[in-house]
């Protein structure tokens, strides 16, 4: 993605994930939250050493650096949200198929175990953050990250993510994060996107 960074189009209509994620939640989440991260990032990198760099390069260069936290947070949140939209699709969810299903069984024992471990990672992330299915040194793993933190700065390859910031679910589920997370896993996960990420890993 070249600078200035643009807000990528959503891969589905704003109402397409209802009733799991309402059009109202998507409208705010994409049109306000995601857009603000992109706009802030463009302002923060203008005239700095990061001008002209790719989003991934900026995330890796600023991760863990306290004096670059503003750039890191907005760059990682820009990346994380684009990845999140692609991790979802209408009529998705349920078990994976093909090579990915075999890898899930090998890593977690069964789809049902994977499902409960992914939900557990998403529910137990304390405060704002993300739950991720990643490839780490060739093996599938579930990880959770706080705030804007992102697995690519740790050398892991994300396959799917779930946003567990309250803005992702509060309008639809209020405090019921587990209900939201289970509905995403059962009805929206985009295994085609995960398989594409696995091929590139
Ligand atoms: Mn979000």
- Between the CA of 98 and the centroid of ligand 1 the distance, in Å, is 30
Band the pLDDT of 201: cuts 50, 70, 90: confident
- Domain count within the chain: 2
CATH number, position 183: 3.55.40.20
- Between the CA of 43 and the centroid of ligand 1 the distance, in Å, is 20
- Does the pLDDT value for residue 126 go beyond 80? yes
Give me the sheet containing 129-136, strands edge to edge: 139-146, 129-136, 157-163
Shared-domain flag, residues 151 and 107: yes
- Between the CA of 11 and the centroid of ligand 1 the distance, in Å, is 16
CA 160 to chain centre: 6
Shared-domain flag, residues 125 and 77: no
Is 164 part of a structural domain of the chain? yes
- Between the CA of 171 and the centroid of ligand 1 the distance, in Å, is 13
Shared-domain flag, residues 80 and 112: no
- Between the CA of 71 and the centroid of ligand 1 the distance, in Å, is 17
Is 7 part of a structural domain of the chain? no
pLDDT value of residue 75: 98
Is 70 part of a structural domain of the chain? yes
Shared-domain flag, residues 110 and 168: yes
What rounded mean pLDDT belongs to the chain? 96
Is 30 part of a structural domain of the chain? yes
pLDDT value of residue 2: 60
pLDDT digits (tens, 9 = 90+) for 143-163: 999 999 999 999 999 999 999
Is 192 part of a structural domain of the chain? yes
Shared-domain flag, residues 79 and 104: no
- Does the pLDDT value for residue 1 go beyond 70? no
- Between the CA of 151 and the centroid of ligand 1 the distance, in Å, is 16
pLDDT digits (tens, 9 = 90+) for 14-33: 999 999 999 999 999 999 99
Containing structural domain, residue 39: 23-86
- Between the CA of 80 and the centroid of ligand 1 the distance, in Å, is 8
- Between the CA of 17 and the centroid of ligand 1 the distance, in Å, is 15
Shared-domain flag, residues 158 and 134: yes
- Between the CA of 110 and the centroid of ligand 1 the distance, in Å, is 29
- Between the CA of 81 and the centroid of ligand 1 the distance, in Å, is 6
Mean pLDDT over 49-58 rounds to 95
Is 91 part of a structural domain of the chain? no
- Does the pLDDT value for residue 127 go beyond 80? yes
pLDDT value of residue 22: 98
Shared-domain flag, residues 191 and 136: yes
User: In sequence order, what DSSP letters do the residues of 27-83 get, joined into one string?
Assistant: HHIIIIIIHHHHHHHHHHHTTSTTTT--HHHHHHHHTT-GGGHHHHHHHHHHHHHHH
Is 103 part of a structural domain of the chain? yes
């Amino acid at each position: 993605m070249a600078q200035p960074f643009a807000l990528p189009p959503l891969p589905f209509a704003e109402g397409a994930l209802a009733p799991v994620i309402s059009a109202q939640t998507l409208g705010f989440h994409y049109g306000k939250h995601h857009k603000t991260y992109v706009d802030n990032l463009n302002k923060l990198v203008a005239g700095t050493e990061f001008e002209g760099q790719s989003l991934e390069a900026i995330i890796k260069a600023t991760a863990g650096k306290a004096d670059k936290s503003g750039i890191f947070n907005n760059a990682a949140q820009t990346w994380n949200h684009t990845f999140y939209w692609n991790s979802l699709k209408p009529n998705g969810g349920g078990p994976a198929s093909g090579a990915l299903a075999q890898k899930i069984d090998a890593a977690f024992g069964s789809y049902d175990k994977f499902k409960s471990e992914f939900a557990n990672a998403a529910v137990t992330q304390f405060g704002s953050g993300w739950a991720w299915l990643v490839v780490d040194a060739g093996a599938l793993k579930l990880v959770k990250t706080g705030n804007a933190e992102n697995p690519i700065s740790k050398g892991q390859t994300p396959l799917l993510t779930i946003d567990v910031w309250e803005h992702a679910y509060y309008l639809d589920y209020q405090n019921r994060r587990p209900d939201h997370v289970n509905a995403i896993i059962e009805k929206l996960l985009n295994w085609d996107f995960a398989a594409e990420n696995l091929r590139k890993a």
